[in-house]
Amino acid sequence: MGNASLAQAFGAGVKMTFSAGSAALAFDAIAEQFDSRFGGWASVAAQRRAVRAELLRVFPAGGRILEIGGGTGLDAAFLAARGFEILLTDASPVMVALAQAKLAPLGALAKVAAAEEMDDLATQRLSSSEVEFDGAFSNFAALNCVTDFGPVARGLARLLKPGAPAMLVFFGTFCPGETVTEILRGRPHFALRRFRRGAIPARLSGREFPVVYHRCSDLRRAFAPWFLLERRIGIGITVPPSAAEPWITRHPRLLAAMETFDHLLSCPMAILGDHVLYQFRRTSDSFAFPASK
């Protein structure tokens, strides 16, 4: 990808065909370089700080937490170092191996499991009489690679205690910062890609996979009746998306001001975020769970 942004990989506008596990293969290919390539970008760090602040606010101290699409384990390690009991899951075996290297010294675990396999994971854990989780999260739009949320929502409901929060970060469906940035960089074909419906072709390290820009109404419907949507938090409203890198990293004072405005606007203007954090809450455990398809 060179200096291209991570976000640029999504919705690349090239006609492609998708195979099973295509997202996992794409991230396997970039896993070894992932932290060094994207970890130094200040815009990414600013958005990560905003998400982490919400996780610390909502999760019970020392709770048992599940991460979905955890990648190389940066957020899981952050929480584990603060006393949380973490199980990271990701579809990419290489990502999981890198995450486990970070997590093992902290007493946390990483497991190869795609988001679509949450129902299977729940069955495995329940058959072993393992305790339910006190919360779950997914950061930086890992769930935008999911096209069918049935198994995800059902499995997550079985894995979480009643009343537990699920903090799920998706791409926003309209990001003015990205639109302006892409137009200024002479890439108008990227500027309005988030308005598109259905699976959109994406490419990362030469690998093809689908991405969907999920609408709030679709997510609310997919997670009912097991979850209620409590609030939406905009992540990256004034903080620019990674498409603005590496330019914004060279302007730390400007980015700091943008981060302050982001905090003020995160709830009233959540729909304009580069990412949107959906705070779901697990409802009563009295609902029946239909058989997996």
pTM, rounded to two decimals: 0.88
**Burial call 193-222: b when 16+ CB within 10 Å, e when fewer:** bbeeeebbbbbbeebbbbbbbbebeebeeb
Is residue 142 situated within a structural domain? yes
Q: How confident is the model at residue 13 (pLDDT cuts 50, 70, 90)?
A: very low
Distance CA 25, CA 15 (A): 18
Q: 3-class DSSP state for residue 37? A: helix
- 293 versus 220: which is more confidently predicted? 220
CATH code, 115: 3.40.50.150
Is residue 104 situated within a structural domain? yes
- 279 versus 177: which is more confidently predicted? 279
Is residue 246 situated within a structural domain? no
Structure-token match 């998706």, residue found: 170
Q: How confident is the model at residue 15 (pLDDT cuts 50, 70, 90)?
A: very low
- 77 versus 4: which is more confidently predicted? 77
Task: Indicate whether 274 pLDDT > 80.
Answer: yes
Q: How confident is the model at residue 182 (pLDDT cuts 50, 70, 90)?
A: confident
Distance CA 247, CA 259 (A): 16
- 284 versus 111: which is more confidently predicted? 111
How is the beta sheet containing 135-138 ordered, strand by strand?
109-112, 85-90, 64-68, 135-138, 165-171, 275-282, 227-235
CB within 8 A of 211, min separation 6: which ones? 10, 11, 144, 145, 171, 199, 200, 201, 202
Is residue 177 situated within a structural domain? no
- Structure token pair of residue 203: 């490419």
- Supply the pLDDT for residue 28: 82
Residue 61 belongs to what H/E stretch? none
Report CA-CA distances (Å) from 275 to 197, 241, 245.
Answer: 17, 9, 16
Residue range(s) defining the domain that contains residue 71 = 7-37+48-171+197-236+267-281
Count of domains forming the chain:
1
Q: Which of 80-89, 121-130, 176-185, 220-229 has the lowest mean pLDDT?
A: 176-185
Average pLDDT in the 58-68 region?
98
Is residue 30 situated within a structural domain? yes
Structure-token match 């199980």, residue found: 87
Is residue 289 situated within a structural domain? no
Is residue 252 situated within a structural domain? no
Is residue 205 situated within a structural domain? yes
- Supply the pLDDT for residue 78: 98
